[in-house]
A and B are shown apart, each in its own frame.
Chain A
Amino acid sequence: MPNRPLLPLRKRKVNKMAAEQKESVFKYFVRQITSLPRTPGNIATLVIFAFGALITIMRFTLGIDSVSNLDDNNPWGIWIGFDLMCGVALAAGGYTCSSACYLLGFKRYHSAVRPAITTAFLGYLFVVIALLYDVGQPWRLPYPLTVSFGTTSILFEVGLCVGIYLSVLFIEWSPVAMEWLMSIRQSEGENAVHPKVYKALVWLRPYLRRIRKIVLWMTIPLTVMGVILSTMHQSSLGSLFLIVPSKLHPLWYSAFLPVFFFVSSMAAGLSMVIFEGTLAHKALHNKMDETHLAEADGVVLGLGRACSVILAGYFMMKIMDIGMDHDWHWLFTGYGAWFCVELIGFVAVPCMLYAMGARERKTCYMRWAAALTVAGIIVNRFNVSMVAFNWQLPSVDRYFPSFLEVMLSVFIVTCIVTAYRFIAAKMPMLYELKEFKSHH
């Protein structure tokens, strides 16, 4: 994000107030936010937030159909197909990276774990937030676990796992925030922390220290739990569609949907770590410590090699599945062409790129492959949940998202990016604080 201001900076209010305790805590935070530089990025964020606010108001006063094109034939649109399906798949970097590092012994991925966990945590958090807009009565979301247990439903399992996993991710991620809070020191002048806030921080410190110790001590069990829960719900997102053999196009419908979803989620998660690392590298280079920078290329090569193996396996499984279900003849239809685009363009090609990158030790191949894989996951989840779903209905009854529906998804993604930027700027995510250096 370039820091050049687009509009002239607002004259900063001379601030002696914080120190003199006249400013209220609320005003202090407002000042912190309003004094942000007006870069193009920040202004775009602001505009999207305004859309978010508008959609929120409309959704909860006028109903879902005031903002979306969902209808009786198409009960699930991009809020499920993108925000939930893709959000969860792309957040799979959390469990893949942490289990590679802590359980499978790839210690050199250590510097990739924190960004991956952060992305995963934010991803899942905003999956749940997006669901608040999509489900009819979000205040009843705890019902499946408290009031009436629909244990025969795949969605029950998805909800259960996503709920627990979000908590696990929060715990796994919390040391980042705790280390940050503990490391805040009082400074002078405009940047002074509000005295009341600072007092609270000082009071919190010993507790945070203790909680952090406990959390770090739980790393291994939490990581194992992450893998179990992820296996279950990543695959269950595919299982959701097992119940609709008559509605999902035979090229995409398969008894192995859960396997496909799980395997592709691993590739998606790892690619997302590479992809996001590339972006972060460009924007946040100065926030990375030496370990991170030194390990970055090795991490990319290692993850990329793993990805090429996973994608190759996935490709083979998809082909075998077509053979097993005798779906060959479908390949010569329009849907078949699209299926081939997905399977070759977004699975075979990145798989080969990854393999080439691994052989020639070229990280730029890896980065392109990562971008393609991420796009491919989105294509696949869109296909299963929307494009190939209801394929037998006449085109007038098919679904296409409305503008505001898309804007809500844009808003959700912007929230994630903004939170990520905040965390990367303030918290020890891409670097380690000296006082908390881990010995690995």
Chain B
Amino acid sequence: MKRRAFLSLLTGSAAAAALPVKAKAAGGEFSGHPDNMAVLTDLTKCIGCRKCETACSKVNDLPAPVKGEDRSVFAEQRRTHADIYTVVNQYNADGKSVYRKMQCMHCQEPACATACFVKAFTKNPDGSVTYDPTLCVGCRYCMVSCPFNIPAYRYDSALNPVVRKCTMCHPRLQEGKLPGCVEACPTGALVFGKRSEILAIARKRIADNPGKYVDHIYGEHEMGGTAWLTISGVDFSKVGMREDLGTKAAAEYTTGVLGALPMVVGFWPIVLGGAYFMNKRKDEIAKEEQEAAVAAAVDQERQRGEAAAKKALDKAASDAKKAQDKAVEAAKKEAREALLAEQAAAAAAEKEGE
């Protein structure tokens, strides 16, 4: 029984948790707003002037970039931080310097939004992914889940720490303005427009310049697609962009599990309830059997008791008889001896008398 019970626990859980694997495909119904906007970064045009960084800090009221626009910052790889929404890094690829601007990718189905348990992130119709600091609890699961390592956190604030990241200048877009970085870019490395049109531009650039570009638009499908697209003259992995992210949106990895939960809720009460009542019944049967056994034992005991008593009585009787006989015997013997002694005495007296 014991082993079976634990095995049933095991298989039960396995069944419940195996379901998500099948249900997984039920994920991405939502893949962005059809007409959302997008930005194209053309790495072949970027000269690493970092004017976008300056513009970003200005429009977002952030501290000016460290060391201004000095190129010495390229000595190390930087990432986004609470006060830096975008950074340009230098890479040495195929013997030449390539610069890549890094910022939130504004995923079509953002991992951060899927992960947030208070829905602090919104994928807006304009394509931007924005964050509501008044809802955020600060669990930082969004940061854990972002495949591009973008969101940053105000760890230095004791009472109002918040997540910080690029907004694609959502407030400016609503005023009909361009994102700060796009507006500031002197070389046209950044292009803003409808995502469908941006994709067309990117495709055209690749087609019109054979050999100049890698034939891939980064972000068209990565992680379910992003609203920030990149084309490059060198392999993306050489400029720090991961090529192993896959095309599944983040939500597709988790919806299956969430879908299986009702099964767990329904499954356990049935199994455990069954186990409970079976055990209860078993206990009852055991109890009845035990009671019967006890009754039988008592009965037997009584019979045996009676027999023993009888035997004891008999034995006592016979013992008594034996004792009596012995006493009689002893008395007889004594008497005989006494008689003999008397006779002997008499005989001796007679002899003396002669």
Q: Which residues of A approach B to under 8 Å, CB–CB?
A: 59-66, 68, 70-73, 75-76, 99-100, 102-106, 135-138, 140-141, 143-144, 147-157, 159, 220, 223-224, 227-228, 231-232, 235-236, 239-240, 242-247, 255-256, 258-259, 262-263, 266, 302, 305-306, 309-310, 313, 317, 392
Docked CA distance A256–B113 (Å): 23
Q: Determine chain A's interface SS by DSSP, over half rule.
A: helix
Specify which of B81, B118, B144, B264 is in contact with A228 (CB 8 Å cutoff).
B264
Query: Are A156 and B117 CB-contacts (below 8 A) given A63-B158, A313-B10?
Result: yes
Specify which of A99, A137, A262 is in contact with B161 (CB 8 Å cutoff).
A137
Q: Across the interface, do B139 and A224 meet the contact criterion of CB distance under 8 Å?
A: no
Docked CA distance A138–B139 (Å): 9
Q: Which residues of B approach A to under 8 Å, CB–CB?
A: 1-3, 5-7, 9-10, 13-14, 16-18, 20-21, 24, 79-82, 111, 113-120, 135-141, 143-145, 147, 149, 151-162, 242, 244-246, 250-251, 253-255, 257-258, 261, 264-265, 268-269, 272-273, 275-276, 278-279, 282-283
Q: Across the interface, do B116 and A153 meet the contact criterion of CB distance under 8 Å?
A: yes
Specify which of A64, A143, A243 is in contact with B118 (CB 8 Å cutoff).
A143
Which are the 4 A-B pairs with shortest beta-carbon distances?
A136-B138, A105-B279, A75-B140, A65-B155
Interface centre among A153, A155, A220, A240 (most CB of B within 10 A): A153
A147 to chain B, nearest CB (A): 7
Q: Across the interface, do B140 and A63 meet the contact criterion of CB distance under 8 Å?
A: no
* Nearest A residue (CB) for B10: A313
* Nearest B residue (CB) for A302: B2
Q: Across the interface, do B257 and A242 meet the contact criterion of CB distance under 8 Å?
A: yes
Docked CA distance A236–B80 (Å): 30
Query: Are A258 and B20 CB-contacts (below 8 A) given A153-B116, A242-B257, A246-B242?
Result: yes
Residues of B within 8 A of A240 (CB): 141, 144
Residues of A within 8 A of B160 (CB): 137
Query: Are A149 and B115 CB-contacts (below 8 A) given A60-B158, A231-B16, A235-B17?
Result: no
Interface centre among B144, B152, B158 (most CB of A within 10 A): B144
* Nearest A residue (CB) for B9: A266
Q: Across the interface, do B117 and A153 meet the contact criterion of CB distance under 8 Å?
A: yes
Q: Across the interface, do B111 and A258 meet the contact criterion of CB distance under 8 Å?
A: no
Q: Across the interface, do B114 and A244 meet the contact criterion of CB distance under 8 Å?
A: no
A56 to chain B, nearest CB (A): 11
Docked CA distance A16–B30 (Å): 74
Q: Across the interface, do B269 and A105 meet the contact criterion of CB distance under 8 Å?
A: no
* Nearest B residue (CB) for A68: B155
A313 to chain B, nearest CB (A): 6
Docked CA distance A159–B24 (Å): 22
Q: Across the interface, do B115 and A243 meet the contact criterion of CB distance under 8 Å?
A: yes
* Nearest A residue (CB) for B13: A262
Q: Can you report 16 residue pairs joining A to B where beta carbons are below 8 Å apart?
A: A63-B155, A73-B149, A75-B140, A75-B144, A103-B279, A136-B162, A140-B136, A147-B135, A148-B118, A152-B258, A235-B17, A244-B147, A263-B14, A309-B6, A310-B6, A392-B242
Query: Are A61 and B152 CB-contacts (below 8 A) given A105-B279, A239-B257, A266-B9?
Result: no
